[in-house]
Amino acid sequence: MATYAIGDIQGCFDELQQLLNHLNFEPAKDTLWFAGDLINRGPKSLETLCFIKQLANKQVSVLGNHDLHCLNLYFTKEYKKITKSHVLYPLFQNNQCAELMHWLSNQPLLHYDSQVNCLMVHAGIPPDWDLATCLKKAKEIETLLQSDKRSYLFKNMYGSEPKKLTHNTSPTDSLRFTINSFTRMRLLDADKSLLIKEKGKPKPKDIKSSKPWFSFPRKLDKNITLLFGHWAALEGKCPIKNIEALDTGCVWGKNLTAYCIETKQRHCINCHKK
Ligand SMILES: [Mn+2]
């Protein structure tokens, strides 16, 4: 019986199957956690979603920025404008699409398991948020996403502002800050403001004072193992104790990684394109 947390798949269904073979994964005994960005960019988003959905309670997925983007395309009906060359075309054309999109919209932004004391999120958590705050903020988004008011969320979720929460932050801006933190965050400025890359502006890494979000002292209980994906350039390396980086760039022909929660061992397969 094992629980494996797996990094960003991004529609790389074949590589996921290779990894599961490598792990001798048995659905009757083992559980899979997915750190988000299940789909998009890679070739088999449809197959990936169908497979993960049928695992039912033997899987846990948190939503990543690409998953939210796909939900946005579906629920705003923008997907109807997508042409054959788009990687998500087969998913949107499939007769299971509505079911898959409703399933996806019911997945959380954050997953905490008290038995193993592990928290999983796609990008990261703001250093000033403890576990209760994280769960409360995630719940706000999840509730909206699962309601018929989700169009309000899709209309307002894009953008790089606000960089910080203040007592003046509007509820809508606060929701965007939560989404940006949980699904897009990489670097923070010295005052812990979010540095989300904007088109035409210098890349956050050009700002000298910036540091990865996990380099700041965290309010989250340090005994909680924090699992995250999203940042392939880290190549799975995070220097902070009890924080595991899981995105190892499968879709870029690098590796796909599973972290076994019980043994704390990392398992990796090579995704070099043949
Ligand atoms: Mn991502």
Task: Report CA(31)–ligand 1 centroid distance (Å).
Answer: 22
Q: Which residues of the chain have pLDDT under 50?
A: none
Task: Report CA(183)–ligand 1 centroid distance (Å).
Answer: 6
E strands of 36-175, at which residues? 59-61, 110-113, 118-121
Task: Report CA(184)–ligand 1 centroid distance (Å).
Answer: 6
pLDDT at 206: 58
Residue 21, phi-psi category: left (phi > 0), alpha (psi -120 to 50), beta (remainder)? alpha
Task: Report CA(11)–ligand 1 centroid distance (Å).
Answer: 13
In angstroms, the Cα distances linking 94 to 63, 74, 80 are 21, 12, 13
Task: Report CA(68)–ligand 1 centroid distance (Å).
Answer: 10
pLDDT at 197: 76
Helix, strand or coil, per DSSP, at residue 67: helix
pTM exceeds 0.85: yes
Backbone angles phi, psi at 35, to 5 degrees: -85, 20
- Show the tokens assigned to 177: 């800050």
Q: Do residues 46 and 91 touch, judged by C-beta distance below 8 A? A: yes
Q: Do residues 108 and 142 touch, judged by C-beta distance below 8 A? A: yes
Task: Report CA(195)–ligand 1 centroid distance (Å).
Answer: 15
Task: Report CA(230)–ligand 1 centroid distance (Å).
Answer: 4
pLDDT at 272: 81
Task: Report CA(66)–ligand 1 centroid distance (Å).
Answer: 6
- Show the tokens assigned to 93: 């054309």
Name the average pLDDT for the chain.
Answer: 95
Task: Report CA(231)–ligand 1 centroid distance (Å).
Answer: 7
Task: Report CA(9)–ligand 1 centroid distance (Å).
Answer: 10
Residue 223 CA to its chain's centroid (Å): 22
Residue 113, phi-psi category: left (phi > 0), alpha (psi -120 to 50), beta (remainder)? beta
Task: Report CA(8)–ligand 1 centroid distance (Å).
Answer: 7
Give the DSSP letter of residue 6.
E
CATH superfamily of 3-142+218-270: Metallo-dependent phosphatases (3.60.21.10)
Where exactly are the structural domains of the chain? 3-142+218-270
